[in-house]
Structure 1
């Protein structure tokens, strides 16, 4: 079977690596190309978008893809919606691998918001030191609150920089432990964190560190995702694929 994995997450990399060991599966991993130097994936990899639903549909047909795995970021709602529509048009089964969100635990001070403008408003008018734990596409909205000092950590340099008078930029690649993030928050005297509920272990350090330091977290809720079959673990993906392989063998594919 030919499998296309839409990646960009740690789970996608692990999944693709394990699929590469299967003799009955030919896997290609697709990355959007937003990171200048992505980690080595260990499998055949394509970089760049498909050109929307039409382009992805054409790719699935032209490459005779047998199954599509959407293992993109939990906030990548546009590509996930495109994946569902393209798979339907190409007649290809699709499965979403969506890691479970973090759950609030005792000591967490979460302020849950539904959008970037709501997150900006939640910071208030009083000057604060803010750790923006968001992607480059989300931070531009915080230019509407230039009174704050912002700390931005990203894999690639932020270009252009945020249009505010006070911002600090760090380039680093995770995962980050609780100890590392606690030291970061203390060193920069952070008052509040703005984050997405990404789930998983790789970026949970800042959430645990905020709890330990009694800092509030403005938590951007997950967007509504396209309605399709979904699982939360790599193991569940394999169970789904094994069923698909069995069905394909039954049909003589």
Structure 2
């Protein structure tokens, strides 16, 4: 199966004199969840910003469905939905109005919007708050609005950055169930998280960044082989690899 997201030899960052990312190559295919893991400052968020088009690569390229951002920006951007680590909402808009805005941005028909919005509001226990302005929401509620907006539009690729921060246990369960559901429907998921036990349970493959370089990549069997740690957990592999100089050939 052809990759939905393809990153090839990506070098980038905020300064050309001192790049954050060094020659990253990886892909995400339809129907799989790929976990992007690493220490703080490893380059995870910078990688995501390059995929989103918020930063321009120093070298290399990024394609979604074979399309580059600079050649077809509208097609490129409608391929994905993004859930940031820190929720970004308009204080003067209500929960329902944020969902309506997301629907308009992706060209979602009204009938589909009403059904999906109702289901998501119910799933995340947000129906009683659908007319509340975001200025009056808790951090966890704001995060739920970001998550609902992404899953509402049903993109081909979900890019999710540390989604569990601030969520209550029911919200975490709802998010995980939704990720499994959309993955089974053929969507791709790139998720960055420090909750390695959860990523290990739900992820298909893993990308370990360390100091802006790909230290290890693959499914659990591949990571165990690269680390020389048969039967080890993702947490143990992670701790071992980031404390020694290991590179993928």
* TM superposition score category, shorter chain reference: under 0.3
If asked which structure has higher relative contact order (CA below 8 Å, sep 6+), I would say 2
Whose helix proportion is higher, 1 or 2? 2
Look at both structures and tell me which one has the larger radius of gyration over its CA atoms: 1
